[in-house]
Amino acid sequence: MSINQPLQQATDDNIRSARRKKADRLRHSLEAMLRSHRGLVVLGTNQLVTELARRQELDEHDFCQFDIMLKSRRICLVCVPQVHWNNPASMTLFNEVKAAAKASGHEVLLAPEALVGRPQRLDNSRVTFGPEYEVSGTDRMTVISYLLKNGGGTLAQLAGLLRHPDPVGAVLHLGVIGAIDIDLNAAIAPATTVRFKQVR
């Protein structure tokens, strides 16, 4: 046996452990965010989606997902870590899972990890809607539920729903970090269109 084999095994174990811990944190953050919205019911994980992902050789540490009920609409929200979201080959696999689930009557929404976010320190020296801007889970869920119900909205409509002290900045921040789609290269106006982040 090569002297490097135990070292390689230890390295692989550490990588798997780190992936598992990150996946657990993301899953807990997503569940907490979903449960923060009164109009939405968390039903648990979707076993069909789990099985379809396994067939694509995506394991439980590659994503997290929950079935949710919004009014009479049942959706499986699949949260994809940025390392996969930014990888076209990985997203091809996730899109195949989504298509297979749809063929079986299950609606799947793929969302980037940025939609969940995590608490960050506010630094007033930064751009007001830049990477250090904090948007609560409740406000994020308000945006998610509105876009789920309506398919899209305007900057003014979404900002008017938030409790954030700077609601326009909060919506723009979600666009900057890639959680939702806003054309930040165009002139920003109250009628600026906001949609879910499109899977490439």
Best mean pLDDT range from 18-22, 163-167, 175-179: 163-167
Residue with tokens 């990888």: 87
**125: Cβ–Cβ under 8 A, 6 or more apart, which residues?**
none
- The reply to whether CATH 3.30.300 applies to domain 4-115 is yes
Give percent above pLDDT 70 in the chain: 82
Please, where in the chain does CATH 1.10.10 lie? 137-196
Predicted local distance difference test score (pLDDT) of residue 36 = 83
Q: b/e string for 152-170 if b means 16 or more Cβ within 10 A? A: ebebeebbeebebeebbbb
Q: HSE on the CB side for 151, CA within 13 Å? A: 0
Given a cut of 80, whether residue 124 has pLDDT beyond it is no
Predicted local distance difference test score (pLDDT) of residue 63 = 92
Predicted local distance difference test score (pLDDT) of residue 7 = 55
Given a cut of 60, whether residue 75 has pLDDT beyond it is yes
* 16-31 per-position pLDDT tens digit: 777 778 888 889 989 9
Residue with tokens 């899109």: 95
Predicted local distance difference test score (pLDDT) of residue 24 = 87
Predicted local distance difference test score (pLDDT) of residue 3 = 53
Angle, helices 167-176/137-150, rounded to nearest 10 degrees: 80
Closest CA to 134 of 114, 116, 120, 146: 120
Predicted local distance difference test score (pLDDT) of residue 9 = 60
Q: Is the dihedral of CA 116, 120, 124, 127 positive or negative?
A: negative
Between 145 and 67, name the one with better pLDDT: 67
Given a cut of 60, whether residue 142 has pLDDT beyond it is yes
Closest CA to 37 of 110, 143, 117: 143
Given a cut of 50, whether residue 123 has pLDDT beyond it is no
Segment 36-46 shows an average pLDDT of: 89
Q: How far, in Å, CA of 90 to CA of 23, rounded?
A: 16
CATH topology of domain 137-196: Arc Repressor Mutant, subunit A (1.10.10)
Please, where in the chain does CATH 3.30.300 lie? 4-115
Predicted local distance difference test score (pLDDT) of residue 108 = 94
Tokens of 8: 């390689």
Predicted local distance difference test score (pLDDT) of residue 120 = 39
**Alpha helices, DSSP H only, in the chain?**
4-35, 47-55, 82-85, 88-103, 137-150, 155-159, 167-176
Round the average pLDDT of the chain to a whole number and report it. Answer: 83
